[in-house]
Structure 1
Amino acid sequence: MTQKVVSGEELKQTALGRELSNEQCKLLATVCERRTVANGETLFSEGEVSDTLFVIVSGRFAVSRDTGRGFSDTLHLLESGHLAGESGFLDGSPHSATLRAVGDAEVVTLDRAHLEAMLVDHPILVYKVMRAIVHSIREIIRRMNRQHSELLSYINPNIGRF
């Protein structure tokens, strides 16, 4: 992975920067990095522990889990604007899936320690970043609930509307 500087303007276009002022984006950008991820490269693996939040700037990532049968299942594709690694970033829990680039991609990274260092002097900025993370997690839960309902309806058409 190649690392590059992140600009405030670029960060403003991401899920983390949408609620931030231009000044706050410039400040947050000083503690973020931009990485280029090559096609097929793993961003992180299931079971690894990391305190880094990833914002997909361009490209796509396959989200997959080990099936225990010698291969993995692709569960979802993350695209530009999505966040990844939210739970590990918040509480240090291991990643529940592996993310692998599908084509070349770029991500912005934010380490937990860098955000925590901003808490005393910039609490509103930290609060808004945390809101963006919570929003992302809620979207994941909504998608999973919808998929669960669709699967139940497929398995037993008598319990659903499909």
Structure 2
Amino acid sequence: MTQKVVSGEELKQTALGRELTNEQCQLLAKACRRRMIPNGETLFSEGEVSETLFVIIAGRFAVSRDTGRGFADTLHLLDAGNLAGESGFLDSSPHSATLRAVGDAEVVTLERAHLEALLVDHPILVYKVMRAIVHSIREIIRRMNRQHSELLSYINPNIGRF
């Protein structure tokens, strides 16, 4: 697992940097690291606790959950630009799924303690990062609600029709 520094310009192209000024991106980039994740390697596992936020900058990750039947179901694929580990980053809750690289991938990592260190001197930057996280979580909820409705319609085509 290789780690190297991320640039402010690179961070500006991510979900975290979209609302930030160039100067804020440079500052936040100093708190982040870039990791190369080889094909098939696990980024994190279901049930693990981590205070790290991940931003996928290249490649894809399969999101899977243990079925209790001896294998895991793939629920979704995350692409470049997506965030991962939001809940654990916010409140140290265990990961609800396992993420495994599908092909070689790169992520930007941000530790919660590193973001909190910016809070006193750069509250607007921290606020904008938190907005990006909330936006990501809302998109996950929207996708899950849409999939739930589609599944219900598949199971019973008469649901919702009068």
Q: TM-score, normalised by structure 2?
A: 0.98
1:64 alignment partner in structure 2: 64
> Residue in 1 aligned with 2:19?
19
- CA RMSD across the alignment: 0.6
For the residue of structure 2 that corresponds to 1:16, the secondary structure is: coil
Using the alignment, how far apart are the partners of 1:56 and 1:4 within structure 2?
A: 15
Alpha-carbon shift at residue 160 of structure 1 (Å): 3.9
Matches within 5 A, 1:77-156: 77-156=77-156
How many residues align structurally? 161
Following TM superposition, by how much is the alpha carbon of 1:146 offset from its aligned partner in structure 2, in angstroms? 0.1
Q: Which residue of 2 aligns with 1:43?
A: 43
Q: What is the identity percentage for the equivalent residue pairs of Structure 1 and Structure 2?
A: 89
Provide, for residues 8-29 of structure 1, a one-character-per-residue CA deviation record: whole Å limited to 9, x for no partner.
0000000000000000000000
Structure 1 runs of 4+ off > 3 angstroms? none
Deviations 1:24-51 (A, max 9, x none): 0000000100000000000000000000
1:54-90: CA deviation from partner (whole Å, max 9, x where unpaired): 0000000000000001000000000000000000000
Shift of 1:96: 0.1
Which residue pairs with 2:74 in the alignment?
74
Tell me how far apart the structure 2 counterparts of residues 74 and 94 of structure 1 sit (CA, whole Å).
18
Unaligned stretches of 5+ in structure 2?
none
Alpha-carbon distance between aligned partners in 2 of 1:160 and 1:118, rounded to the nearest angstrom: 48
Q: Which amino acid aligns with 2:109?
A: T
Q: Given residue 135 of structure 1, which amino acid in structure 2 is its aligned partner?
A: H
1:114 positional shift: 0.2
Question: Is the 1:58–1:107 contact (alpha carbons within 8 Å) kept by the matching residues of 2?
Answer: yes
Matches of 2:160 and 2:119, distance apart in 1? 46
